[in-house]
Chain A
Amino acid sequence: MALNQKRIAPPSDDRRWKLVDATMRRYGYSSQAVIETLHTIQEVFGNISAESLAYVSGSLNVPPSKVYGVATFYNHFNMAPLGEHVLSVCTGTACYVKGSGQVVDWIKEEYGLEPGQTTPDNKLSFMVARCVGACGLAPVIMLDGEVVGRLSVDEMKKRIKEWISYDK
């Protein structure tokens, strides 16, 4: 027997929750809609907050730990808000062999950022990706979603410096 449950209200009256609701409705509030709903949340809010996890869990009747597990399993989802610009370095096998590890080390030295961290002024987030599916372009980095590849480690450093200087 189906439970006659009332839908829970979104955490706030932010209009963006309507988009999240639309995704869940499109999948008939099925428990399988967890990943799609998390995608929408990440798209419209930029990150997945604790309250949004609780909302997904309550709306789709999926246990909290499962929603949390899914959200943390995929590297694509980020719980903390990202900075204005996002630099991600692919550390998949091909890119690593082509020197992306050195780029990661260099970013640590140059900007003091560990993977997953954001600068205190909230300008730059540094992420590492496990293969972006462009191994032919190794080593690959992504500058705000734009794929940059086929550069030597030194050229890569130069390109990152240039990109960062656009904003200054």
Chain B
Amino acid sequence: MNSNPVVRSFTIDGIQVSAAEGETILEVARQNDIEIPTLCNLEGISSTGQCRLCMVEVKGTNRLIPSCATVAEEGMEIVTSNERIDKYRRMIVELLFAERNHICAVCVANGHCDLQAMAQKLGVTHIEFDYLHPSFQVDASHPKYEVDHNRCILCGRCVRVCDEIEGAHTRDFRNRGINTLVITDFATPWGESQTCTSCGKCVHVCPTGALAEKGKSVAEMQKRRQFLPYLVMRREGAK
């Protein structure tokens, strides 16, 4: 046991903060009520730096760095928001909208959607990019849940929660680049999956209406994530 843990002091937006060894910039920001927008990150599951919304500026380097995947270091001077960062964040959200078919007005998660909330918060009023209008089937083969890839932003939360918390690893990504798709088992219909435990964790961590409970109508799909901190605590206590 290290009785004298190393503490790293640095500043976020000019505020003096300190981090324990190994803590990421995002974690420290959250402890200090400094908000950094994220879509793929969720407390309790691992960080993959997929959505790129948590990019921050660090004094001394011109590159933006993902705060969810960067361990805080002594003396860092971090800026979480300025004109340049906000521009890129809006661009990322616009690209997410352009990539699939996000039609809020008919979505089960309307009003409870992280992507929608993020767009509102960042002030995205229109999409500068051409919509790709891809064509995806809705998989409603599961008795309790359904997946609509038109609303998926490929954040990977469902993949990670299924692997790390439930331990089933029913979901994963297929292909790569623009052809990436979240699949169950061997791209088999969800309802025929041999590994799925029907626990529904993926549905509730999903930031959008891509994963939803069956029988929910427009704007009725509220996500419940209270289980996550509890399960993480139990898991870590058991170690």
Chain A contact residues, CB within 8 Å of chain B: 50, 53-54, 57, 63-69, 72-73
Contact = CB atoms under 8 A, between A and B. Distances in A.
A80 to B, nearest CB: 14
A63 B172 contact: yes
A129 to B, nearest CB: 14
B186 A66 contact: no
A34 to B, nearest CB: 12
A57 B185 CA distance: 10
Contacts of B168: 63
Interface of B: 163, 168-176, 183-188, 194-195
A63 B170 contact: yes
Contacts of B186: 50, 53-54, 57, 64-65, 67-68
Contacts of B170: 63, 65
A66 B173 CA distance: 8
Contacts of A72: 174-176
B184 A65 contact: yes
Given A50-B186, A54-B186, A64 B195 contact: yes
B175 A65 contact: no
A63 B194 CA distance: 10
Contacts of B169: 63, 65-66
Question: Among the interface residues B183, B186, B187, which one has the most CB atoms of the partner chain A within 10 A?
Answer: B186
A61 B147 CA distance: 26
A68 B187 contact: yes
Contact of B173 (A53, A63, A67, A69): A69
A73 B183 contact: no
